[in-house]
A and B are shown apart, each in its own frame.
Chain A
Amino acid sequence: MKDVSLSIPKGSIFGLLGPNGAGKTTLIRIITQIIEPDQGLVSLGGSQMTAELVRKIGYLPEERGLYKKMKVGEQLIYLAQLKGLSKSEAKARIKPWLERLDLMDWSDKKVEDLSKGMAQKVQFIATVVHKPELIILDEPFSGFDPVNADLIKDEILRLRDEGTTVIFSTHRMESVEELCDHIALINKSQKVLDGPKLQIKEEHKDGTFLVTHEGQLEPASYYEIISQKTTETGLTETMVKDYTDGGPNNLLKELLGKVEIHGFMERIPSVNDIFISNVTNQNNG
């Protein structure tokens, strides 16, 4: 990793993005003290990260599993105890989680008897049961059906609202779009960008507009027609790139004289677009 510095605001959901092999897992392992950095430091809530502070982190690794021969309840108690909870405390906290995630009847079953989705839910409980200040989730939705994925998504949002900070590493851009307040993009062990999601989107606007109109739009020097298609209602949708230097109003003024405008909307880049354009740019440059 080269000079990756990130600051993650408390109580936010922070999307950590990057192509395969970019160094996301390494970064996470450094945060969780699994491996030590050659240089640099990690601090949590203003104090430098130590082995003691790690118990304030809940980590759901991408490569995850449970002791197959152990019962669900015992396993959760054991993992919670490793995080520093007492046995009675662990029991008291696990119960409501099992109820909420519909696992109460499975508490005495061995993990090997569970379906993959259920095992994933158990794993999620193990990550959050000790009320960590920071939760790190690496591909949390893999192995979930849409219903359970929603269930987990709601839990993540609830935890955020309770003040927990969430680092969220995934390739599923739609969940980043939906959940994250902040994002950071890492490629080839380097940070490419980071900041609040909306701000980054603002910065990545490239002045393209979707114009819905009646009649034929002719090319001109101050805009470029990127694509054009006819809708069901007989109107034409044209993607236009603005070269007027005067902002949307200026472009609209120009277009008003040419065709009858039914709709005019600036195209906001998706996280997916930003991801792809940045990674390809860096890889080519």
Chain B
Amino acid sequence: MDKIGLIISREYLSRVQKKSFVIMTLIGPFLFAAMIFLPTYLATTGGDTKSIAIIDESGKFAEAFVSDEETKFEFLDIDQEAGKELVKNETFDGLLYIPDVDTQDPQGVSFYGSSNPSLSLMKTLRGKIEGEIENIKLKQSGIDREVLANLKVKIDINTINLSSDGEKQSSSIGASAIGYISSFMIYIFIFVYGAQCMRGVIEEKTSRIIEVVISSVRPFQLMMGKVVGIAGVGLTQFLLWIILSFGVVAGLGAVFGSPSTDMKTQQKEQLESMNVPQDETMDEIEQDVMSKATKALESIDIPLVVVSFLFFFLSGYLLYGALFAAIGSAVDSDADAQQFMLPVTIPLIISIISLSAILNDPNGTLAFWLSMIPFTAPVVMMMRVPFGVPGWELILSMVLMIAGFVFTIWVASRIYRIGILMHGTKVDYKTLAKWFMMRN
């Protein structure tokens, strides 16, 4: 057993000390942080000021278009063709042409631009025209804006879990988020580190070290040492990422302000710009939502989620890692591995595709069966656990999972012990089956 320990520590240390590992570990959190902050940052700073020419033949919209930081509006009293020329020679970034429209059926509004206009610009323009027509119609019908605002109601349905532990406020959004994130992490982990197992075996095979090592240790020890060592590398990386990500997000948050408040002000600005009256109680509602969210998160059994995550994370990786190692042993190069990769990765891809279906019905038939099959269970079960899974299902799935990885490790080791000594043989599934059946 101490030999397995030796192999594990070599596999682990040789990878952790690599420059690429250190760089990825350091860069990872910044990438995550960038994914969170960049959209906010870009949205708040905005692009260059755009100048839009407006030809308003109806004369109804003079008050609707007020220039701001992002867009400068200029009403022109020329004909459509002359306006187009101004866009062509780049005096303006775009031309909004409003014909003499009928407020009952406003048709024929066109936008001329030198390039495709951005979605947000189109949204702003549309919002302004719609808002103004709405105002006109309200005035025509004699309805006051205040009255209309009072008519609008906001309804929020509280969801409560009736479980044996009593009533709990639940949050399907929180559960979905946790489920999605943990499922995807398992999926990515299996792919990235499974492929590392395969490449490690191919490297040992092509560098011909394998026979030297095999004369000291059993092939099974070498294979398991590699699979377990790489699992350690993955866990280390994720752990460091989580710690560093929190650090980076907290740090950036202190510098740029928290993304959520930024988004709030931004939303408000958008609402204002669309001439929608400001809802005074919005902040209160939001606070309510926040407290509800934290309360709802309390309803998710966090320790159970963490334990299940670690279990399916590791057992799923062991199951696939062994298979990837077996593939590596059978081939002479990465390129040869492709034909065997496909059948191994199909169950993983199926489980990731079925996630949205499982999200719709976390305790349905599809969800049940996919979380019982060891090949799909790691990804699928993690989607379900945050929603609450009957205890017996979880235990059965875990038992099947253990049986599953013991089985694939057994199959893989039988292929591995022969495969690693074979060079230059053309390998197909028949050969693999033959190796598997060989007595020794």
Contacts and interface: CB of A to CB of B under 8 A. Distances in A.
Contacts of B423: 63
Nearest to A31: B215
B207 A34 contact: no
Contact of A78 (B6, B204, B207): B6
A66 B215 contact: no
Contacts, number: 62
B216 A35 contact: no
Interface stretch (A67-75, A140-148, A276-284): A67-75
A206 to B, nearest CB: 40
Given A35-B440, A36-B440, A81-B6, A66 B209 contact: yes
Interface of A: 29, 32-36, 38, 51, 54-55, 57, 59-61, 63-70, 78-79, 81-83, 123, 126
Contacts of A36: 439-440
Nearest to A127: B212
Nearest 5 Cβ contacts at the A-B interface: A65-B208, A36-B440, A61-B211, A82-B216, A65-B207
16 contacts: A33-B215, A36-B439, A55-B216, A59-B212, A59-B215, A61-B212, A64-B211, A65-B207, A66-B207, A67-B209, A69-B14, A78-B10, A79-B212, A79-B216, A81-B6, A123-B212
Contacts of A60: 212
A98 B423 CA distance: 31
Interface in B328-345: none
A65 B211 CA distance: 9
Nearest to A81: B6
Contact of B215 (A34, A67, A123): A34
A103 to B, nearest CB: 17
Given A65-B207, A78-B10, A34 B217 contact: no
Contacts of A70: 14
Interface residues of B, number: 22
Interface in B182-213: 204, 207-213
Nearest to A70: B14
A82 B212 CA distance: 10
B26 interface: no
Contact of A65 (B10, B209, B216): B209
Contact of A64 (B204, B208, B217, B439): B208
Contacts of A64: 208-209, 211-212
A203 to B, nearest CB: 34
Nearest to A35: B440
Contacts of B216: 54-55, 79, 82-83
B14 A34 contact: no
B6 A82 contact: yes
Contacts of A78: 6, 10
Given A54-B216, A81-B6, A82-B216, A34 B211 contact: yes
Given A34-B211, A59-B211, A82-B7, 4 more contacts: A29-B421, A54-B216, A79-B212, A126-B212
B14 A63 contact: no
A118 to B, nearest CB: 16
A123 B213 CA distance: 12
Given A63-B423, A65-B207, A66-B207, A82 B440 contact: no
Given A35-B440, A81-B6, A68 B215 contact: no
